Amino acid sequence: MPHSKGFAGRKDRRSADAVSIGDVVDALLKENEFSRGMPVARLAQAWPELLGERLAVATQPVSLEGGVLVVRAVDGPWGAQVKYFVEEIRRRADEALGGGVVTSVRIVIGSGKPQVEG
């Protein structure tokens, strides 16, 4: 398996044998660096259902580390609005991930999604 620092940093044996892409993906997902992004990906996919279209269009889940879900709002006014819903966002996100995962929500401001129309 390739490594960001090359093959020298890998503990597994390098092989010239053909490997299916499914096996490569499965192996990558077992590594901490790749697997820790999966909860955020699941939240991003379910975001409109969790928050509703109006809030989902102006926000996105960015990261989840140590139980802290970081949510990016497109601008200051949306960030201020979303802060009123942090406990509801925490509860819904935690429930979507099976419980006991999201302990708090932190709102950050920045671009990363298209501007909200309307």
- The residue among 17 and 3 whose pLDDT is bigger is 17
What is the per-residue pLDDT across 74-94, written as a single tens digit (0 to 9) for each? 999 999 999 999 999 999 999
Per-residue pLDDT at 118: 39
Please give the sequence-ordered ranges of beta strands (E in DSSP) within the chain, or none if there are none.
59-65, 68-73, 104-109
Identify the residue whose tokens are 């279209």. Answer: 53
Domain 38-109 belongs to what architecture? 2-Layer Sandwich (3.30)
Per-residue pLDDT at 117: 41
Reduced DSSP (H G I as helix, E B as strand, rest coil) percent helix, strand, coil of the chain, to 5 = 45, 15, 35
Across 67-87, b (16+ Cβ under 10 Å) vs e yields eebbbbbbeeebbeebeebee
pTM value is 0.66
Is pLDDT at 21 greater than 70 in this prediction?
yes
Of the pLDDT bands very low, low, confident and very high (cuts 50, 70, 90), residue 4 is: very low
Tokens of 48: 């409109």
Per-residue pLDDT at 94: 95
Domains of the chain, by residue range, sit at 38-109
Is pLDDT at 1 greater than 60 in this prediction?
no
